[in-house]
């Protein structure tokens, strides 16, 4: 397969990649044909209860954070790394990242309160958002968080007025959508996010930000990409950011103290599959932002790169179906917990490998039972027969519990695995309480069905 095609990551892993999964994702390994997640036997874990699970693996969260932070810090020693909180709210995950020194990037009133409740100091919170509620503005101004990033005149007015009323100074950033040589970006021209460089839009906001009472303009912000997996698109975006900084110096004589390039790097094992890693992206940033021409502090806001491959789903296959062109395997895990976006795949691998001598593998598409034509992954190589009917699903950790759909199917239990012990973050009791609160009736018949045996 050509690693450059867009479809590459949307299709299942090759059989050889699956059998040597530890090369891509070292928290997983087959031992005697059985998949281990750390020291846990994935098949036993699922079989004990036969309910779908998602396991967050603390060591991978730590490792991913340290990897990206170190990669960028090499070029930018005063780097600030803010975890994009929207990508995972789970308490032990956030606490782990806070301990490692991460700040928190937030986008709403709820998130800023969550960051504070979990122990993030105010000066390590960076607030993004558009169309901010007055409660959100208030929460970011009293007391002031480390940075409030603005991308509309109305929000600037609100933040400034709240700062004046509270008698505080607020550090602000302005978010630009820079010109770039390619149009393969996630946030393009005239999006609701960011302010266009063209037609003087950005300069108008900048000028007002420079003069907004009780606001200190500090940061140039540009979060432009999502699951970035090629260096050229990344380079072009960074070049665009450098150009904006240069033009601002030329026209206003103003230098930003900080440049915040946002998040956007793809899942770490998917980058590895393409022969890429965070250090290559960091090198591109260093090379391109050199053109800014003055010293500044770099800031990154990774989400997906830190948590996506730090969680593994476990699911049974509840059905198999052959259509004219495709074989399907239907899973319990799907849009009840994972965001069903066309551009993201969740790679299924078997929890048990068939014995080599008689192994038969074929292509399946894998999807859940919802009444929507969604899929987890296409062209997934799986063993024919029972070995391919209990699956581990990779890439499950980012934007997962946050964007779960609560309808129709069981939500997976959420487990946290650290130092060889497992604890349940979200179990059946919590699920029952949540459903009862939401829909006002009792779901015991659904959550406590009589046990059936399964292979
Ligand atoms: C402003 C901002 N920063 C950072 C992120 C994190 O992006 P990613 O998870 O792709 O790293 C997002 C995600 O939407 C975002 O909106």
Q: In this predicted model, what pLDDT tens digit does every residue of 304-340 receive, in sequence order?
A: 999 999 999 999 999 999 999 899 999 999 888 888 7
Indicate the top mutation candidate among 103, 151, 155, 263 to test ligand 1's pocket, ranked by most ligand atoms within 8 A of CB: 263
Domains of the chain: 6-56+310-447 (2.40.37.10), 59-307 (3.20.20.10)
**Residue 430 vs residues 305, 411, 413, 443, 446: alpha-carbon distances, Å:** 28, 10, 9, 12, 14
Residue 257 phi, psi (nearest 5): -80, -25
Nearest-atom index, ligand 1, CA of 225: 10
Distance CA 390, CA 352 (A): 8
Task: Please compute the mean of the pLDDT values over residues 9-15 and round it to a whole number.
Answer: 92
Q: What local confidence, expressed as pLDDT, does residue 187 receive?
A: 73
CB of 262 closer than 6 angstroms to any ligand 1 atom:
yes
| Residue 166 scores a pLDDT above 80 | yes
CB of 263 closer than 6 angstroms to any ligand 1 atom:
yes
Task: Tell which residue, 165, 151, 94, has the closest CA to residue 124.
Answer: 94
Compute the distance from residue 16 Cα to the ligand 1 centre, in Å. Answer: 32
- CA geometry: angle at 375 spanning 370 and 376, to 5°? 110
Compute the distance from residue 224 Cα to the ligand 1 centre, in Å. Answer: 9
Indicate the top mutation candidate among 67, 81, 83, 87 to test ligand 1's pocket, ranked by most ligand atoms within 8 A of CB: 87
What's the token pair of residue 221?
């912000």
CB of 264 closer than 6 angstroms to any ligand 1 atom:
yes
Q: What local confidence, expressed as pLDDT, does residue 1 receive?
A: 44
pTM of the entire predicted model: 0.93
CB of 175 closer than 6 angstroms to any ligand 1 atom:
no
Q: What local confidence, expressed as pLDDT, does residue 451 receive?
A: 60
pLDDT in tens, 406-449: 777 788 899 999 999 999 999 999 988 988 887 788 888 778 76
Give burial (CB, 10 Å; 0-12/13-18/19+) of 257. middle
CB of 108 closer than 6 angstroms to any ligand 1 atom:
no
Task: Tell which residue, 130, 240, 129, has the closest CA to residue 183.
Answer: 240
Q: Give Dmax over CA atoms of the chain in angstroms.
A: 75
pLDDT in tens, 74-127: 999 999 999 999 999 999 999 999 999 999 999 999 999 999 999 999 999 999
| Residue 3 scores a pLDDT above 50 | yes
Residues 6+ apart with CB under 8 A from 54: 311, 312, 313, 314, 333, 337, 396, 397, 400, 401, 412, 413, 414, 415
Compute the distance from residue 311 Cα to the ligand 1 centre, in Å. Answer: 18
Question: Which of the listed ranges 106-110, 167-171, 229-233, 409-413 does the model predict with the highest average pLDDT?
Answer: 167-171
Return the SS3 of 403: helix
């Amino acid at each position: 397969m050509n690693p450059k095609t867009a479809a590459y990551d949307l299709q299942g892993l090759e059989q050889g990649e699956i059998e040597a999964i530890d090369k891509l994702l070292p928290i997983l390994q087959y031992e005697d044909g059985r998949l281990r997640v750390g020291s846990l036997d994935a098949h036993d874990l699922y079989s004990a209860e036969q309910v779908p699970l998602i396991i967050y693996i603390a060591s991978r969260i730590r490792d991913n954070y340290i990897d990206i932070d170190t990669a960028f810090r090499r070029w930018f020693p005063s780097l600030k790394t803010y975890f994009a909180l929207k990508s995972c709210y789970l308490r032990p995950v956030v606490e782990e990242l806070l301990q490692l020194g991460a700040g928190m990037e937030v986008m709403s009133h709820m998130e800023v309160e969550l960051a504070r409740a979990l122990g993030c100091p105010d000066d390590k919170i960076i607030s993004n958002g558009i169309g901010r509620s007055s409660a959100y503005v208030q929460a970011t101004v009293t007391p002031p968080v480390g940075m409030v990033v603005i991308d509309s005149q109305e929000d600037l007015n609100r933040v400034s007025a709240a700062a004046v009323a509270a008698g505080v100074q607020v550090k602000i950033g302005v978010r630009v959508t820079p010109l770039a040589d390619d149009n393969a970006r996630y946030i393009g021209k005239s999006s609701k996010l960011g302010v266009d460089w063209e037609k003087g839009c950005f300069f108008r906001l900048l000028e007002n930000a420079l003069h907004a009472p009780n606001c200190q303009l500090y940061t140039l912000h540009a979060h432009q990409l999502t699951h970035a997996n090629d260096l050229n698109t990344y380079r072009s975006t960074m070049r665009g950011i450098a150009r904006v900084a240069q033009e601002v110096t030329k026209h206003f004589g103003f230098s930003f103290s900080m440049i915040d390039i946002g998040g956007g790097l793809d899942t770490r094992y998917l980058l590895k599959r393409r022969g890429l890693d965070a250090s290559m992206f960091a090198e591109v940033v260093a090379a391109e932002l050199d053109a800014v021409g003055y010293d500044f502090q770099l800031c990154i806001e990774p989400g997906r790169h830190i948590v996506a491959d730090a969680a593994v789903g476990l699911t049974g296959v509840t059905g198999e179906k052959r259509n004219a062109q495709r074989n399907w395997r239907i899973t319990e895990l799907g849009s009840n917990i994972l965001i069903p976006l066309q551009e993201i795949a969740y790679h299924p691998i078997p929890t048990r490998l068939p014995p080599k001598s008689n192994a038969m593998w074929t292509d399946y598409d894998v999807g859940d039972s919802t009444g929507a034509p969604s899929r987890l992954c296409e062209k997934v190589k799986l063993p024919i027969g029972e070995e391919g009917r209990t699956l581990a699903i990779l890439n499950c950790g980012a934007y997962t519990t946050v964007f779960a759909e609560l309808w129709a199917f069981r939500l997976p239990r959420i487990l946290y695995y650290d130092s060889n012990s497992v604890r349940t973050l979200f179990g059946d009791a919590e699920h029952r309480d949540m459903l009862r609160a939401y829909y006002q009736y009792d779901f015991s018949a659904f959550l406590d069905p009589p046990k059936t045996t399964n292979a």
